[in-house]
Amino acid sequence: MRGRNLSFRDRLLVLGVSLTAGSLLLLGAVIWWNNHHLREVSYVGCLRAAEAECDPIAESIDGFAMTAAWPWNTRFGKISIPRQS
């Protein structure tokens, strides 16, 4: 196939299509990166919030368990409840 000369109109059309496709690809890459970063930040934030809420609840349950076991400790000997540190 021989190389042919493109008219000015065809050159402008190719330039317009190239600029449009390039800008769409760039915009898509930026949106994908932002979405990925936002998901990562929200995941870490949710984990921190869950840990912050679960620690006091676990300590309360542990306290209730120790309080509920208190009469058993005095009547039937010491009951050992393993504690996690």
* pLDDT tier at 1, thresholds 50, 70, 90: very low
Per the CB < 8 A criterion, the answer to whether 45 and 66 are in contact is no
Question: What is the arithmetic mean of pLDDT over 39-61?
Answer: 87
Biggest alpha carbon distance in the chain?
A: 103
DSSP label at residue 31:
H
DSSP label at residue 60:
H
Of how many residues is the chain composed?
Answer: 85
The pLDDT tens digits of the residues spanning 10-45 come to 999 999 999 999 999 999 999 999 999 999 999 999
